[in-house]
Amino acid sequence: MAKLNLTMEHLEAAVLGGCVLGGGGGGSMEKGMRTAKLGLELAPVTLVDPEDMDEDAVLVNVSNVGAPSATEAWVDPMDNGRVVTVLCEKMGIQADGIITNEAGGSASVNGWLQCALLGLPLVDAPCNGRAHPTGVMGSMGLHRIPDYYSYQAAVGGKRENGRRIEMAAGGSLGSVARLVRETAVEAAGLVAVARNPVTLAYAKENGACGAVRQAIELGQAMIAAKQEGADAVLKAVCDFLGGSIIAKAKVEQVDLKCSGGFDTGVVKVGDVELTFWNEYMTAEKNGERLATFPDLIMTFDAETGIPVTSAEVKEGMMAAVLVVDRTKIKLGAGMKDPELFVPCEKAVEREMISYVFPEAECNSK
């Protein structure tokens, strides 16, 4: 597939489609637009298909980590380039390309600014084609490699309030991922992250190749339907992803708590109950399970057709709830390990593993 020279039109579509694919998480569209727009204004940014690069090329994964509802969170735009430099200096490597960690209103355009700042290509081989709550879920299965040693860097926070942090660490993947999450908390809720360089060959086998283009194409379909109203936008999403709307009703309840760098809670839309841990984890109606992460569960403003993340849903708004079977979206290796779902079950206090991996033997207690 030919290289794609990214434009503002691509950005608008990537943010809109990416927000849907975030499944309740993946950051805000406003932040994604602001950060990636700066990248496009600084220098040309090119989206490269994995097939067009050398198998030995080194790709650095970039993301933001933190709680979406944190009100004092701050990452300076230049921190996005700085964190890649910190990681490469720590490891003594040279990056050949940038990949994002997941999909989302911000996440689908993670890397656009980094590529502009560093003169690197953006490679369409994200770690995951939807958003996920934990760093290990976005590690493309690296946690399964015996004795794998993870290097990660995080930068964020404001100097003037004493919350500025630059951190680089190495160790077991799970331990360092937790350290990054704790760093986000200390930085007042958010950090820019660079981590876990892999070869292109590894990313092709374990990532979600084509997920950035999927976000752009979904967004383009939504934009094309926008003039016909909210129902047309929702239909465009369902047609593109093969999903369905399971509720269109008033938001009766929003319970949200922010702890440990995560947003956790429950949203009730009519008679449908959603749980979330940054991303929506389960959807139930009258006690019947309708969808379970990594199925895509997403909320929309029913009056505009605009996707609304779990941190943005408000009581009293009219909302629509979308569900898409996991087989219809692009998933990385981190979505195929039942052990990684144990923290999700504990966070939302719902059974999940048996729905996603009915044959798995996994200790979720």
pLDDT tens by residue, 85-117: 999 999 999 999 999 999 999 999 999 999 999
pLDDT tens digits, residue range 309-333?
A: 999 999 999 999 999 999 999 999 9
Two tokens at 82? 């700085």
67 confidence band (pLDDT: 50, 70, 90): low
Note whether 210 and 173 are within 8 A (CB).
Answer: no
Rounded Cα–Cα distance for residues 186 and 190 (Å): 9
364 confidence band (pLDDT: 50, 70, 90): very low
- Read off the pTM: 0.92
> What is the reported pLDDT for 71?
74
Two tokens at 121? 């290509």
pLDDT > 90 in the chain, percent:
87
1 confidence band (pLDDT: 50, 70, 90): low
Rounded Cα–Cα distance for residues 352 and 294 (Å): 10
Mean pLDDT of the chain: 94
Tell me how far CA of residue 88 lies from CA of 94, 186, 194, 304, in angstroms. 6, 23, 9, 43
Mean pLDDT in residue range 138-147: 92
SS3 at position 26: coil
**Is the pLDDT assigned to residue 70 strictly greater than 80?**
no
**Which helix H or strand E contains 221, and what residues bound it?**
helix 211-225
